[in-house]
Each structure stands twice: as structure tokens, then as C-alpha cells.
Amino acid sequence: MDTPMEIRNKLLAEKLIKNFQKRHMEAYYCPTKEEAVKKALELIPEGSSMTWGGSMTIRDMGLVKALHEKNYDIFDRDICTDPEENQKAMRRAFSMDWFITSANAVSEDGQLVNIDGLGNRVAAITFGPKNVLFVVSLNKVCQDVESAVKRARSTAAPINAARFEDMKTPCKVDGTCHDCNAPGCICSCIHILRNSKIEGRIKIILVGEEYGY
């Protein structure tokens, strides 16, 4: 028998999938990380070129490892030790078959909210790669866009800032958003994806387990 959380997650996912479809995006629900990884591998044809952003979701759930074990043309910026090569990796994302990412927050009506420091991730989401695959845990779902933006800035941003030793932003000091313009601000770009101009370019895997920030 499903637990109350599992019942709620399934119902919420069904609602989100319908709302994503209205916005010309494909969406799927996977209760576990194992099912989510399997679905991602099913969606991406062998031989496809791909890269990804700084998502902890896809790393923590084992998707990055699974992709490396398959027959894909991967450009992994994580293994770039040279800053110049890392910049090239970010720009190369625009010509890839697939860009893989997560979202900082999702509104119940199917809009995806992301914040970015440099802007490379939201730029690739917006234009360039033939396909964009989001892998998003249901714990990131918010009632509306306003609350989704608040979650992205007040929850995701301070946690992500804490990941970087050299980052010196106010949110890293006390864990709360200051709406700052500090050097290295992690909220330089605020991106709301409300529709896919190209039918089906955006694909979303919703995950019942909690991953990412």
C-alpha cells in the first residue's frame, strides 16, 4: 500500500505533467532515483552529445555516473582543470544535442525557475541545445511563480553559495538572501521558463525522492 507521501506525490506529479504539457513540454514521473536514471537513459539516444550544468541533483542521484557508462559523446566540465577550458565547455553546450540540468524551483502551474551567477546554465536552457532535460525532485514544487522565485533565492542560493569556498556573498555569511549586488553574486540571473517555443524541446523528469537544493 502506498504511503500518504507517495499518494500525494503521484497526484502532484499528475497535475504538473498536465500543466507542463499545456506549455509544450514533455514530463514524466519517477518515484525513485533508479527509475529516474532509467527514464533519462531511455530518453537520450545512444551517441548523443551532451553536457550539463552544476546540478547536484543529477550528481547525487547517480545520473552523471550512469551517463559516463553509456555510449554518449560527453563533455564534462567537472574534469576541466583549466579555467579557459571550463569556459570553452560552457560555450560548447549551445551546440550539444542535450543539456541536462535541474531547477531551483517549480510552480504548480508548470513554470521552471532558476537562478544563476554567471548565466551559462540559464542561457543553455533558453537557447542552443536541441534538447534540455530537467531532473527535478518534487520537494522543489511551490504554489506559484512568486513563491518559486523566493525558494530559488532564499533556499537554493544560500545553500549553493555554501558549496564554494571562494564565494564571499552575504547569503553565505548568514544563510539568508540580502538581494545583494555583491561581487560573485549567485543570483545575477533570474530565469523563468514558462513555455517551450519548440514543441517537446524541454523534457522534465519529476522525482519522488528528495535530491538537490
pLDDT-derived band at 78, boundaries 50, 70, 90: confident
Number of structural domains in the chain: 1
Task: Determine phi and psi for 87, rounding to 5 degrees.
Answer: -65, -40
Q: Is residue 137 part of a domain?
A: yes
Please, are residues 132 and 51 in contact by the beta-carbon 8 Å criterion? no
Does residue 212 sit within a domain?
Answer: no
Residue 93 has pLDDT above 90, yes or no: no
pLDDT score for 113: 97
State the pLDDT confidence band at 186, using cuts at 50, 70 and 90.
confident
How high is the pLDDT of residue 86?
75
pLDDT in tens, 125-145: 999 999 999 999 999 999 999
Residue 1 has pLDDT above 90, yes or no: no
Question: What does the DSSP assignment read for 62-116?
Answer: THHHHHHTSS-EE--GGG--SHHHHHHHHHHGGGSSEEEE--SEEETTS-EEEEE
Q: Which of 34-38, 64-68, 82-86, 90-94 has the lowest mean pLDDT?
A: 82-86
Which is higher by pLDDT, 47 or 165? 47
Summarised one tens digit per residue, pLDDT across range 99-122 is: 999 999 999 999 999 999 888 899
Decide if 125 is inside a domain. Answer: yes
More confident residue, 208 or 169: 208
pLDDT value for 136: 97
Question: Is residue 59 scored above 90 in pLDDT?
Answer: yes
Residue 42's alpha-carbon distances to 38, 103, 207, in angstroms, are 6, 21, 16
**Residue 213 falls within a domain, yes or no?**
no
Residue ranges making up the domain that contains 56: 4-207
CATH number of the domain bearing residue 145: 3.40.50.10420
What's the pTM?
0.93
Buried b (16+ CB within 10 A) or exposed e, 155-182: bbbbebbeeeeebebbbbeeeebeeeee
Top-confidence range, 10-14, 55-59, 76-80, 157-161: 10-14
pLDDT at 88 over 80: no
